[in-house]
Every structure is written in C-alpha cells, then in structure tokens.
C-alpha cells in the first residue's frame, strides 16, 4: 500500500495541547511597554476571547467546535502517503511517510488554523480580519476561511512575494479578500514577515470592527495544527508501524512543524527535527531571548530564538520561512534539547524538491522542499548505518503557484 486514509468520522474532535505536558513551563509573553506578562485584557483589541484563552490554556485537550469540524471535513482527514519510489531511488532501508497537507483548498496546512480563527471571530461579532502573508499560503487560507464565515479579509503581503507570486493574489481575491504589498510606506523595501505583521497589527488596532489574525508562531495556532500529528499517529498504526523514529518539518514560524511534532513530544524516543533556510537561520544561529514578533515593535515580547526583529532576510523563494523569530513552543523545545534544528541553502533544497517530483510526482512548495532535503539526508544516513528507520514528515504545501522558483532553479538562476 502507498496511502492510508481515515474516514471523515475519524477527524479528531479535540486539539492536543502541549503546554501542560512541558517539564519546564514556557516563559510568558511580555507587554511591550511595561515588560510585565501580558493579560487577556491587553490582547482583547486584537483577538477573540476563545483564542486568548487557548493561548494560555493548561487543559491537555481542547474541544474542536462542531462547525469547525464540519468545515475541516471539506478536505480532512488528509492522507498519509509512503514515498516508496523515493525510497527506491535512494536505495535506503528507511521507510518514508508523509502527511499530505497540500490537498487543502488553499494548498497547504494553513487552513487548519484559518478556519477556527475565522469561526471564533465570527461568533464574537467581528466583521473584518487583517493579517500578513509571506509566501501567500497563509493569506490564501484566511481568505478561504473568511469566505466560509462571511468575514472581510485584508492581507498585507510581503512585497518580495507579492512581486514573485501574482497568482497567489488572484487566489486571495477569488475568495473575496483584498491584498496590499508590505511595507505599505516603503515601496522599494522587499518586506519580510516582520514588516507585514506590523502593517496588519496597525490596521486592526486602528479599527473597532477589525481583529488581527496570525498564521503561525502563537500557541493557539500550533494547537489548531495538531490535527496533523493526531491523524498521522492513527494512520501509522494502520500502516503497521509502531511509530516514527524521527519526525521532520520545515520551520518558518513553527506551525506545520508544531502540528505534526507536538503530539509526539511525550514519546521520548521519537526524534523531532526543525528544518530552516541558512539565509534565515533562526534556530541554528539566532539568540534565545525576548524579542518583538514584528519589525515596528508593536507586538508583545516573545521568548524565542530570534535573529533580531529588524533582521531582513534575503528574498529566497521560500517566503514562508523568512521570519526573524520562531514559535515560543518550538524555541522552548529546541532550548530544552527535545527538538533538533538544521539549516540548508536553497540550491540543496530545490535539488531535493526536484528529486521528489521526479520520483513521487508531486511538485512541493519551496518551504516543504526544506523538509524533503532533510528527509533525503536522514534516509541516506540510514543507508550508511544499515538501519531501518521510520521517517515521518509534513508535506506542508504544493508548489503549483511557485513555478517561477522552479524556473529559476532549472535555468541556473537561483542564488544560494
Ligand atoms: C507550504 C508552507 N510550508 C511551511 C511554511 C512555514 O510556516 P510554518 O513554520 O508556520 O509552518 C509556510 C509558510 O507560509 C508554507 O506556506
């Protein structure tokens, strides 16, 4: 067999909360002016109450509302796939499985949190959402979720991606969203996730009908993404595996990695690996300290690995990995030694993405290519060591709107 499906009724009915399971508690976010821990009231202008509660919740499981489950059923549960042809090409004894999150309407894992975020805002009477997007995957996901729950969505898109990916904008507009390049006040600036977050937070803070929505980094976002790992656990059992030896995913802000890896945190013998670009090496070269989530210093201070909130990464094609910080949960796991981190230049990433396309057929997002690079190296190491290893990774998105990046790679125009 190559693919394992769960029926719609097996979609998880609760999210997995890692917070009460951490042996050392997470540092709290701090108010940018007072440097005291933020209170729910501080966050109320930006987020609905339910998400603020989830951000701080110590409940081991958080129920998924029925209307959210109904919307997730448009594409979930997603398949678990065994990459047999890649294994054969590598002559590896490793068994490689991936969770295919590219089958969602927006083409990535991002709708797993866009849908609940839109739902909670809607039931609290919010009319409009503002957000940032890097590669365009998150903006697309929120516009799609906004269409489901009849919310207006304004997306600030990192200018470098806005120029590289016109079709992502068209997708967002098709779902009824509106898109503006960021930073809004500096037309020559390539932008970064940090500048786009500043623009989106400013928008939400200046309008009473608008809340802000973040596609990664925060605890509640990683919580919503745990449906990926929960389903994968069931599907690996169906595939006859006791469990994975190693779980890998690309890491930008940490949401797809958190989604697939957090349910495995209590399984101490499972290795967890974050994969990032060498040009934006937050976990591998950054400092662990409190920093702002955005360039302008409008957000709370988060305890995380960071390259500095004013760091502007080069315009690599994996726009979703160009973030100066990382989720506090992911940073904490790396700091505590529970998770490893590794970085690759984009040439090596595209080499792996093309090998995957030529064996498995599907063309991945440049972000996902980072995970595939690391998976191939894990599988080759297993061959060297002569050990059978079960590798699980998150196929976080397809690359069908990223073909300009493949064109650059195939024509030798891609700088590392
Ligand atoms: C396909 C894909 N994978 C991965 C990422 C990285 O984000 P995160 O670390 O939040 O999963 C993105 C972000 O835009 C993405 O679009």
Band of residue 414 on the pLDDT scale cut at 50, 70, 90? confident
Residue range 116-137: mean pLDDT, rounded: 96
* Atom nearest to 217 CA in ligand 1: 10
Q: Does any domain span residue 326? A: yes
Give the Cα separation of 191 and 254 in Å (integer). Answer: 20
In three-state secondary structure terms, 380 is helix
Spatial separation of the C-alpha atoms in residues 162 and 193, rounded to whole Å: 12
CA of 36 to the centre of ligand 1 (A): 31
Residue at 47 is within a domain: no
Any domain includes 241 = yes
Those residues with Cβ within 8 angstroms of residue 257's Cβ, 6 or more apart along the chain or in another chain: 249, 250, 251, 274, 330, 394
Residue 385 has pLDDT above 90, yes or no: yes
Cis upstream peptide for 183 (omega within 30°): yes
Neighbours of 415 (CB within 10 A): 11
Question: Could you read off the pLDDT of 187-197 as tens digits, one per residue?
Answer: 999 988 889 99
What's the structural domain count of the chain?
A: 1
Task: Give yes or no for residue 119 having a pLDDT over 90.
Answer: yes
- Structural tokens at position 109: 């894992």
362 is written with which tokens?
């599907």
Can you tell me the distance from the alpha carbon of 283 to that of 306, in angstroms, rounded to the nearest whole number?
7
What pLDDT digit, counting tens, does each position of 358-377 carry?
999 999 999 999 999 999 99
* Integer Cα distance of 80 and 244 in angstroms: 13
Which of 104, 219, 367 best tests ligand 1's pocket when mutated (most atoms within 8 Å of CB)? Answer: 367
7 in a structural domain = no
What would you measure as the largest C-alpha separation in the chain, in angstroms?
Answer: 61
Q: Which tokens in the block code for residue 59?
A: 């409940």
d(CA 196, CA 86): 37
Domain limits at 100? 75-108+221-410
- Residue 225: pLDDT over 90: yes
> How does pLDDT run across 19-58, given as a tens digit for each residue?
999 999 999 999 999 999 999 999 999 999 999 999 999 9
In a domain, 126, yes or no: no
Whether residue 74 is predicted with pLDDT greater than 90 in this model: the reply is: yes
Read off φ and ψ for residue 349, nearest 5 degrees.
Answer: -70, -45
Flag whether 177 is in a domain: no
The count of C-alpha atoms lying within 13 angstroms of the C-alpha of 31, restricted to the half-sphere facing its C-beta, is 11
Terminal-to-terminal C-alpha distance of the chain: 37
Across the range 122-141, mean pLDDT stands at 95
- Residue written as tokens 């059923």? 73
In a domain, 185, yes or no: no
CA of 343 to the centre of ligand 1 (A): 15
The pLDDT of 112-139, averaged and rounded, is 96
CA of 317 to the centre of ligand 1 (A): 12
Has residue 404 been placed in a domain?
yes
Nearest atom of ligand 1 to the alpha carbon of 102: 1
Q: How far is CA 48 from CA 13, 91, 129, in A?
A: 21, 51, 11
The CATH number of the domain holding residue 243 is 3.40.50.1100
């Amino acid at each position: 067999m190559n693919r394992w499906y769960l029926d719609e009724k097996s979609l998880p009915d609760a999210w997995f909360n890692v917070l009460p399971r951490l042996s050392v508690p997470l540092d709290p976010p701090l108010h940018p002016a007072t440097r005291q821990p933020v209170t729910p009231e501080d966050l109320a202008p930006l987020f609905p109450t339910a998400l603020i509660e989830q951000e701080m919740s110590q409940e081991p499981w958080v129920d998924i509302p029925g209307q959210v489950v109904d919307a997730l059923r448009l594409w979930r549960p997603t398949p678990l796939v065994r990459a047999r042809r890649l294994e054969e090409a590598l002559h590896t004894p490793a068994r490689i499985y991936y969770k295919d999150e590219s089958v969602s309407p927006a083409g990535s894992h991002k709708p797993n949190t866009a849908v609940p975020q839109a739902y909670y805002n809607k039931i609290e009477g919010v009319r409009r959402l503002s957000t940032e997007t890097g590669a365009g995957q998150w903006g697309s996901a929120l516009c799609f979720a906004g269409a489901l729950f009849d919310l207006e969505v304004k997306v600030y898109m990192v200018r470098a991606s806005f120029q590289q990916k016109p079709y992502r904008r068209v997708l967002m507009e098709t779902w009824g969203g509106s898109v503006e390049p960021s930073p809004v006040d500096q037309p020559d600036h390539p932008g970064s996730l940090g500048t786009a977050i500043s623009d989106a937070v400013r928008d939400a803070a200046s309008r009473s009908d608008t809340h802000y929505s973040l596609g990664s980094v925060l605890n509640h976002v990683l919580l919503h993404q745990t449906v990926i790992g929960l389903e994968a656990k069931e599907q690996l059992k169906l595939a006859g595996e006791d469990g994975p030896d190693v779980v890998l995913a690309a890491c930008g802000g940490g949401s797809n990695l958190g989604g697939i890896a957090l349910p495995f945190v209590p399984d101490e013998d499972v290795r967890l690996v974050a994969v990032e670009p060498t040009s934006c090496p937050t976990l591998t070269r950054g400092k662990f300290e409190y920093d702002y989530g955005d360039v302008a210093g409008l957000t709370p201070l988060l305890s995380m690995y960071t390259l500095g909130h004013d760091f502007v990464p080069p315009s690599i094609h994996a726009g979703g990995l160009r973030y100066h910080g990382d989720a506090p949960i992911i940073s904490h796991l790396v700091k505590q030694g529970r998770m490893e981190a590794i970085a690759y230049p984009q040439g090596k990433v595209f080499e792996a993405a093309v090998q995957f396309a030529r064996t498995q057929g599907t063309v991945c997002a440049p972000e996902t290519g980072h995970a595939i690079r690391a998976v191939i190296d894990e599988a080759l190491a297993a061959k060297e060591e002569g050990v059978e290893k079960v590798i699980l990774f998150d196929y976080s998105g397809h690359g069908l709107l990223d073909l300009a990046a493949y064109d650059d790679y195939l024509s030798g125009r891609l700088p590392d």
